[in-house]
Amino acid sequence: MARKQATTLTEIADAALVHISDHGLKQTQMSDIAKMLGISVGTIYLYVENKEALLALAAALLLKPETLENAHLPYKSVPRAQVGQLFMDGASEWARWPTLDQAIADKATDIETFRAVGFELYDLIAAHKRAIWFLDRLAAELAEIAPIHLNTVRGRTLDDLTSLLISSGKSSIKADGLALMARVALEQISWSAMHRHRAGLDAQPTGNLTEEDIRDLAIHAFSSTLQAALR
């Protein structure tokens, strides 16, 4: 069946991505997507096979949007393991932080290194915030997705930050405490680069701060927290 409008499948994919990220896959129904788009449930089924296909469609929008242009309709579901592999392949491409890797190798824990690591993480999270939101929600529900988020994305970032603090040998704080400090530092970056956007920027107490101001302040808080862990 030929697609009636070139943007329709992409619109459905975007709506599915938003709803699943906000409510989870279990709480997402075909009727929810139809309501978001102002179309009938019957129309949705012309374009997407079922709820599992919505999951695959949202993942494709994030990681391989070019495949939607000529996709056959209705869009078919795929095994969840295949969706997981798609995210694994995507994460292996973008979940890289060479500045942090180099800092660990050099055991560099000066404030300028912490700031450089902070800028790297901030920009990475900001660029991929929709994928991270999606992964975060799915990881709580799907066993096929959880290891990707816990081991390849968020978990590995925390492990690497903790390793950097431990490698310095300068802290009297135990390893678990350093892991907590690393988590606090990362949350400061994550909120500023990603989470605040979910609630709507108009609701955020940022006053007249520019995006550059917020980025700089987040990096300052991040690097200061890591530095405090070494005292």
pLDDT for position 130 = 93
pLDDT of residue 121 exceeding 50, the answer is yes
Q: In whole numbers, what is the pLDDT of the chain averaged over residues? A: 90
Share of the chain above pLDDT 90, in %: 70
pLDDT band of residue 67 (cuts 50, 70, 90) is very high
pLDDT digits (tens, 9 = 90+) for 179-204: 999 999 999 999 999 988 876 655 56
pLDDT band of residue 15 (cuts 50, 70, 90) is very high
For residue 173, give every residue at least 6 positions away whose Cβ sits within 8 Å of its Cβ, in sequence order, or none: 181, 229
Nearest to 62 by CA among 130, 139, 5, 123: 130
* Residue that has been written with the tokens 């993942």 in this structure: 59
Instruction: Kindly state the average pLDDT of the residues 202-216.
Output: 82
pLDDT band of residue 45 (cuts 50, 70, 90) is very high
pLDDT of residue 114 exceeding 80, the answer is yes
Task: Provide the sign of the torsion angle of the four alpha carbons 195, 200, 205, 208, taken in this order.
Answer: positive
pLDDT of residue 5 exceeding 60, the answer is no
pLDDT of residue 112 exceeding 50, the answer is yes
pLDDT for position 57 = 96
pLDDT for position 149 = 77
pLDDT band of residue 3 (cuts 50, 70, 90) is very low
Q: Residues for the chain: how many in total?
A: 231
Q: Which domains does the chain have, with CATH numbers?
A: 8-78 (1.10.10.60), 88-229 (1.10.357)
pLDDT of residue 61 exceeding 70, the answer is yes
pLDDT for position 201 = 56
Measured CA to CA in angstroms, residue 5 lies from 10, 47, 53, 73 at distances of 10, 11, 19, 12
Q: Name the residue with higher pLDDT: 4 or 111.
A: 111
pLDDT for position 155 = 86
pLDDT of residue 75 exceeding 50, the answer is yes
Is the bond leading into 74 cis (omega within 30 degrees of zero)? Answer: yes
